[in-house]
Amino acid sequence: MNRNRTIFPAVILAAALSACSAFAAPATPTAVPSPTSAPTATPLPLYQQVKLTSVPVEETGKSPDYKITTQTPSLTGSDDPRLKTFNDEMAAIVKAAVDDYKQKMKDFGPAPIVAQSTFDLKYEQTAPAGNIFSIKFTMEGYVAGMAHPYHVIRSANFDLEKGKDIALSDLFTPNSDYLKTIAKYCSAELSKRDIGFTDTFKQGADPTPENYQEWNIASDGLVIIFNEYQVAPYVSGPQTVTVPYSELKSLVDPKGPLAGFIQ
């Protein structure tokens, strides 16, 4: 009798526990993290992928005795065809200058004195880092027998993003008469210099496309180049005038190459 009383409560307790477990909330499944894709990297602009390097060349010869040294700008770091366009153009400019010098040696004939003829070409990049490569070539040539060396400055302005040259007209809005503004500023600046900018040479700064073929883009303004004899006698050498961008602000094309320089 006592044994049955002990078992009965235990049976009831077991049944109660079974009923509670039947109504218990189902277990929450463990969350499995979903795979995430890596963020897509933004490609660098082309100008940040490349490096402007110099290719030096030295050439010497006898009869006549001469020495030619050149530095050719070249972009490296990418196989983008725009680099080839730039490099081919720079090489062509240097070749044309060397060919012109060799023609001068030929035209001058046998040297009347014993001296070495020389030609030296260097360059500099005047534009700040960006899509624009503005190259200023400086040349000095001497053929034995000449009274003095000659000097030439050439320029090239290239938009790497577009893969083509920049013309002076590309900088300004159409029909803006930009040459008149540039010429006025240049003439005023040249008049302040003791270089012989007299009536004989003033037409060299007139607002014509021929007078403004050589120019470079710099951080502080548009650099205008006047070669020997253009606006002054030989003794004064080539002249450069930097036209501040503030003088050109109203004329600059807001979508053109100079847009980023105008505040």
Each residue's pLDDT tens digit, 199-250: 999 999 999 999 999 999 999 999 999 999 999 999 999 999 999 999 999 9
CATH number, span 167-256: 3.90.640.20
pLDDT score of 74 more than 70: yes
Percent of the residues in the chain that have a pLDDT greater than 70, as a whole number: 84
**DSSP class of residue 194?**
S
Edge-first strand listing for the sheet containing 66-76: 51-61, 66-76, 117-125, 132-142, 150-159, 164-165
Answer for the pair 104, 118: CB distance below 8 angstroms, yes or no.
Answer: no
Q: How big is the chain by its Cα radius of gyration, in Å?
A: 37
In this prediction the pTM is 0.83
pLDDT at 109: 80
157, 150, 129, 130: which is closest to 214 by C-alpha? 157
pLDDT at 121 exceeding the cut of 70: yes
pLDDT tens digits, residue range 1-19? Answer: 444 444 444 433 344 444 4
**Least confident piece of the model among 60-64, 119-123, 137-141:** 60-64
User: 46-166 in CATH: which number?
Assistant: 3.30.565.40
Which tokens belong to 53? Answer: 């390097």
CB 220 within 8 A of CB 244: yes
- What pLDDT shows up at residue 159? 98
Where, residue-wise, is CATH 3.30.565.40 in the chain?
46-166
**CA–CA gap between residue 98 and residue 60 (Å, rounded):** 12
Q: Which of 246, 239, 248, 244 is nearest to 190 (CA)?
A: 239
3-state helix, strand, coil in the chain (%, to 5): 35, 25, 40
Q: How far apart are CA 141 and CA 103, in angstroms?
A: 12
Amino acid 64: pLDDT: 85
CATH 3.90.640.20 in the chain, residue ranges: 167-256
